[in-house]
Amino acid sequence: MFFRSRVFQHPSKPVITLLGTIVLVSLAGILCTSGLLSGFVSALGQAQAADARFLGLRKASPSEIRAAVPEAGQRPILVEFTSRFCHDCQRLSPVVTSLMPKYPSVYLRHADILEDREKAPVLFSTFKPVSVPVLVFIDRRGVIRDVLYNVQPSEKIAAALQALQISPAPKASSTSIRKP
């Protein structure tokens, strides 16, 4: 009965498809382990490497960020994208909340992807988070300084908050009127 199966009666299509899949998977494994892909990845350039932190998050311009989070013009902001059904979010939220009193100049903005999507549509359309939890660190100028995904140690979050707190103040615009 085993030899009467279609694979052995018509070996051309199933066997070739199976062998082709095995060859492709093997070739991909060889390329990854031999380091041949590292040259290709490094050839993508520093600009794309710098944007690697935005995987699963839309890179927004400072003007878009100021429109989404009005507090962005005055002080640094930490936007925490969470969900009440996410176990990792439930583990991360108390860590972030316990760190915030040490950084009083940083404004914390919680955004639940299920509950707050209708309340803050501009925030969600600006960043378009794909997964949670996500911590987005925005400096005084409205520039994203760091993005942390998933549960992170409190030391890493504290280091990002410290760097955010000492970020430079926004430059004065040339159109502002100075009084003598």
Mean predicted confidence (pLDDT) in 55-62 = 81
Give the containing element (helix H, strand E) for 148.
strand 144-149
Higher pLDDT among residues 44 and 82, named by residue: 82
Token pair for 64: 């878009």
The answer on pLDDT for 39 being more than 80 is no
Helix or strand or coil: residue 84? coil
Higher pLDDT among residues 173 and 90, named by residue: 90
Spatial separation of the C-alpha atoms in residues 147 and 79, rounded to whole Å:
10
Contact 109/126 with Cβ under 8 angstroms? no
Same domain membership, residue 70 and residue 27: no
Per-residue pLDDT reduced to its tens digit, 121-158: 999 999 989 889 999 999 988 899 999 999 999 999 99
What pLDDT, on the 0 to 100 scale, is given for residue 137? 94
Same domain membership, residue 64 and residue 140: yes
What pLDDT, on the 0 to 100 scale, is given for residue 72? 79
**Is 176 part of a structural domain of the chain?**
no
Same domain membership, residue 119 and residue 86: yes
The answer on pLDDT for 32 being more than 60 is no
Reported pTM: 0.65
How many domains does the chain fold into? 2
Residue by residue, DSSP assigns 108-138 as: EEEEETTTSTTT-HHHHHHH---SS-EEEEE
**Is 149 part of a structural domain of the chain?**
yes
Same domain membership, residue 61 and residue 15: no
Q: 89: which residues sit within 8 A by CB, 6+ positions away? A: 82, 83, 132, 133
Q: 83: which residues sit within 8 A by CB, 6+ positions away? A: 89, 112, 113, 114, 132
Whichever domain contains 114, its CATH number is 3.40.30.10
**Is 44 part of a structural domain of the chain?**
no
Same domain membership, residue 64 and residue 137: yes
Q: 124: which residues sit within 8 A by CB, 6+ positions away? A: 111, 113, 116, 117
Same domain membership, residue 24 and residue 74: no
Same domain membership, residue 156 and residue 67: yes
What is the domain extent for residue 30?
2-34
pLDDT band with cut points at 50, 70 and 90 for residue 47: very low
**Is 42 part of a structural domain of the chain?**
no
